[in-house]
A and B are shown apart, each in its own frame.
Chain A
Amino acid sequence: MTTPVLEAKKVTMQFGGLKALVDFDLTLLPGELVGMIGPNGAGKTTAFNAITGVYPPSSGDVLVSGARVNGQRPYQICIAGIARTFQNIRLFKQLTALDNVRVACHHGRQAGFTAAFLRTAGFLADEARIARRAEEFLAVMGLADKRDALARNLPYGEQRRLEIARALATGPKLLCLDEPAAGMNASEKVALMDLIQKIRDQFGLAILVIEHDMRVVMGVSERMVVLDHGVTIARGSPQEIRANPKVIEAYLGDSYLEEKHMQVPVEAP
């Protein structure tokens, strides 16, 4: 029996009178690739923020590899093994691609502050190790030749990939991708999803992807979670999700269902 990488138990996020996320449950095993979908404002990014500690959950528990992490600072959760990317790219724009990734290797350092001032051998070995590691991840994401380019000067697609490289370099057990394919065209999206699968296989990570484009995310996910108005309305395999009337209603409205003579099952109270 393997311990799940992530267990979210009845996580609720409340902002004043608004419940952005209600009793969110999610369990991810090592190596799983799970997609999270839902219309705009469904609470997908809120779920991410609750998991990664940007906001502490109002109630409920988040466990990373069996250890409770809610209430911890985002950097502690990152070190515990959850890395993320952002919906609107948040690279360190004035730093080079290499430095962006090197920042993410920061928590693996051994040499301390004083060592940096004295330039001890231990410090230099540490720096060399960090640089090697960063270059490896740049290469994985096909950015090896961009190492000295400033992040803000990279084209959009490469910025997205750099963000993934940066997240990978933190050495996560779970990688959370917040709309990694946003703003990409159809073929770029397919290439990206291939890459995501490749990363999962190569590093044995669990991956949680938020994506709007149903076709893209259904192609790669083994399991899916659908949110609407903060509530988990469906979970299951892509095939089940595709046929689920509740999901169709959330996305297309009930007039579409009537047209197709389908019915939304009434939930038991």
Chain B
Amino acid sequence: MDTSTPSAGPLRTLGLAGRSVTPLAVTFVITLIAYTLLQRAHADYPSIVLTVAGINIIMAVSLNVVNGFTGQFSLGHAGFMAIGAYTAAKIMLGLHHSQIVGLSPFISDQIFFFFALVCGMVTAAVAGLLVGMPSLRLRGDYLAIVTLGFNEIIRVIIENTPFLGQATGLSGLPRITTLVWVYMGVVATVMAARRLAESTHGRALLAIREDEVAAEAMGVDTTGYKVRAFVIASAFAGLAGGLLVHQIQLCTPRSFTFIRSIEVVAMVVLGGMGSVTGSILAALILSVGVEILRSVQEFRMVVYSLLLIVLMLTRPAGIFGTRELWDLLPRPFGRRRASPAGGTP
């Protein structure tokens, strides 16, 4: 089973690295083409809708790691988004007028932006660790209330901190988020979530969702794993926040109220707890749906709510339940069990 030739290890690692880079590279090329075409056609509107949908996908897929995989009910995802957003915004505002020597302003801005996004992820992850450690001892409704409270605390702190622009927020941000950036983020988030799900760490999370007492008795450090899931989800929420504020060029606390947290929870529940493809589809449906419904302004929220009610009545476990898209497709397209451990190398 194991390849024993000495060169096999590094070669295999190289191949694996390829498997990590290829999806990102393909997305880069495709979205770059799409972006250029949309720019040429001056089709700003579809471009904005797709960007917002992408940001929502990042939010939904990352929240799914906590709510879907691990079965913990977090209602504070927008709080972590805010932390990532303000970190990235502050860094970009600070670096906006500088330039890396020897590089064009465009390239240098892109590098700054990457740096800002990574910093946003790190601060959001640290916040996730600090919030997660004490609160993940709670379960169900209690955890939901604590995370909701955290969301509000973050908002109130921002509204009262002059450094962060208080209620007016930070304006004058460069418009640097593009389709390309957002979908690179989407692919990174989805890959992280899928790889986690297919690893022993992911199975530990699923075990916690299924039966916490049994998981603990089988050698899973349940508290540790809940905190880890929380940290990972927070990091990607921070990424989504950084992307959002450089799309709307404004960073205000109003973008990160608990209403947004609830929207993300709705996407996760609608797609199916634990289903990554379900979250993607639900985020697309809800973000694009809201835009389509703009033509019936007054009834928009009514139709939105009705859609949710009907879907929950007909498919209580969400669109895909705990399964993934390919589990439901007919044979030739479907792939049952794609775990790397199952097959031969």
Contact = CB atoms under 8 A, between A and B. Distances in A.
A94 B206 CA distance: 9
B201 A116 contact: yes
Q: Give the interface residue-count category, chain B.
A: 35 or more
A91 B214 contact: yes
Given A116-B196, A117-B192, A121-B9, A128 B2 contact: yes
Most chain-B CB neighbours within 10 Å: which of A75, A83, A123, A167?
A75
Given A92-B206, A103-B204, A106-B203, A127 B337 contact: no
A127 B199 contact: yes
B94 interface: no
Contacts of B216: 73-75, 78
A78 B195 contact: no
Contacts of B345: 124, 128
A70 interface: no
A61 to B, nearest CB: 20
Chain A interface SS verdict (over half): helix
A213 B33 CA distance: 72
Given A54-B213, A118-B20, A120-B13, A105 B207 contact: no
B102 interface: no
B341 A117 contact: no
Contacts of B201: 113, 116
B16 A128 contact: no
Contact of B200 (A52, A102, A167): A102
A119 B195 contact: yes
B217 A95 contact: no
B340 interface: yes
Interface in B297-345: 322, 336-337, 339-342, 345
A92 B207 contact: yes
A78 B213 CA distance: 12
Contacts of A106: 200, 203-204, 218-220
Contacts of A54: 213, 217
A65 interface: no
A250 B345 CA distance: 60
Interface of B: 1-2, 9, 12-13, 16-17, 19-20, 191-192, 195-196, 199-204, 206-207, 210-211, 213-222, 228, 322, 336-337, 339-342, 345
